[in-house]
Amino acid sequence: MDTLFSLRVFREVVRQGSFTRAADKLGISTAMASKHVSHLEKQVCAKLLQRNSRSLHLTEAGEQYHRCCAQALETLDTAAERAAGGADTPQGRLRITMPMWFANPVFSGWLAEYRRRHPQVALDLILDNRKADLIAEGIDLALRVSTDDLPPSLIVRPLSDIRFYLAAAPDYLAAHGTPATPQQAARLDFVLPSYVDMDSVRITRGSDSFTLAPAAPVRADNTLMVRQMVLAGCGIGYLPEWTVRRDFANGRLARILPDWHILTATLYAAYADRAFLSAKVRSFIDFLCEKTAQDAEAV
């Protein structure tokens, strides 16, 4: 028999002071209620209830057992309520892994807005360029930017296109000239990321195309460091639009070859299991869909 249900039957019999009323409450027969209590008595090897045709009362062993049983069932019921609440109301700790360059003003501002909307959700942000194992590391959600499809083992939702621009510091361009063509740009120094292959990037303008394969005397495994080196005048860099939006606006960086399409990657939200998707994960994905759509319209 189901011992957990037997415990619930026993608790209800004590509450109601009657097998018949307890059985009606639980939607079972009186005989089945009696069998469940007998099942518990056999398991604990002790008489729990003294009963006759008129009344029943707990034995000494039954009193102690009922007290512990009631506490255990209350703990289980509370845990179930909290777990069910997590499926309906965004709450708890949300662990998200994302590329390092998501530490930028655009995305940070969105995170702050999400927290204002959902103050019961605590954010645990993991900035790392490697592809984390979501299940093994207990991560709820991965934000990944890629030009390729993601592994079929993950549930993936595309959120937005991320545009990459060629950028350089005004001082660097003043010293080396502003390239007007891809061929001229290819002769200048570049600062490239080392964690992804960007040695050869095909850029287009209408029906025209050109493959940029420039020299890269500086490489870094962190896009934010690439940006800093470009700002310092070390060369030209491919940078995500979110990281350079303010730099373009305030003149710290200049966009190179603005008429050419450089590179576009897709931002994906990826998680391990579709079943029982928690409200915190669902709310964050919906929030990002909203913000990326607004951002695409504004830019």
**pLDDT reading at 274 higher than 90:** no
3-state SS track over 75-143: HHHHHHHHHHHHHHCCCEEEEEEECHHHCCHHHHHHHHHHHHHCCCEEEEEEECCCCCCCCCCCCCEEE
Give the predicted TM-score (pTM) of the model: 0.69
The pair of structure tokens assigned to 282 is 């669902």
Q: How large is the average pLDDT for residues 94-101?
A: 94
Q: What is the pLDDT of residues 221-238, one digit of tens each?
A: 999 999 999 999 999 999
Q: How large is the average pLDDT for residues 241-249?
A: 96
E-state strands within 169-262: 190-193, 201-205, 208-212, 218-220, 236-240, 254-256
pLDDT for residue 99: 93
Q: Which helix (H) or strand (E) holds 284?
A: helix 279-298
d(CA 213, CA 201): 7
Q: How large is the average pLDDT for residues 255-260?
A: 96
pLDDT for residue 299: 67
Q: How confident is the model at residue 63 (pLDDT cuts 50, 70, 90)?
A: confident
Q: Which fold has domain 3-84?
A: Arc Repressor Mutant, subunit A (1.10.10)
pLDDT for residue 44: 87
Residue at 199: amino acid letter:
D
Q: How confident is the model at residue 18 (pLDDT cuts 50, 70, 90)?
A: confident
Q: What is the pLDDT of residues 123-149, one digit of tens each?
A: 999 998 888 888 778 889 999 998 776
Distances (CA, A) of 180 to 3, 160, 226, 253: 78, 30, 23, 16
* DSSP states along 270-282: EES--TT--HHHH
CB 117 within 8 A of CB 287: yes
d(CA 63, CA 40): 14
pLDDT for residue 228: 97
Neighbours of 112 (CB within 10 A): 10
Residue percentage of the chain with pLDDT more than 70: 93
pLDDT for residue 87: 57
DSSP state of 27: T
Average per-residue pLDDT for the chain:
89
92-160+266-298 belongs to CATH 3.40.190.10: yes
pLDDT for residue 86: 54
* 92-160+266-298 against 164-263: fold identical: yes
Domain 164-263 in this protein, CATH class: alpha beta
Bridge-based pairing state of the strands 263-271 and 141-146? antiparallel
**pLDDT reading at 275 higher than 60:** no
Neighbours of 68 (CB within 10 A): 10
Q: Of residues 151 and 5, which shows the higher confidence score?
A: 5
What is the residue extent of each domain of the chain?
Answer: 3-84, 92-160+266-298, 164-263
pLDDT for residue 149: 64
Going by C-alpha positions, the residue among 83, 100, 96 that lies closest to residue 122 is 96
pLDDT for residue 225: 96
**pLDDT reading at 271 higher than 90:** no
Bridge-based pairing state of the strands 208-212 and 218-220? unpaired
d(CA 111, CA 106): 9
Q: Of residues 186 and 54, which shows the higher confidence score?
A: 186
Q: How large is the average pLDDT for residues 67-77?
A: 81
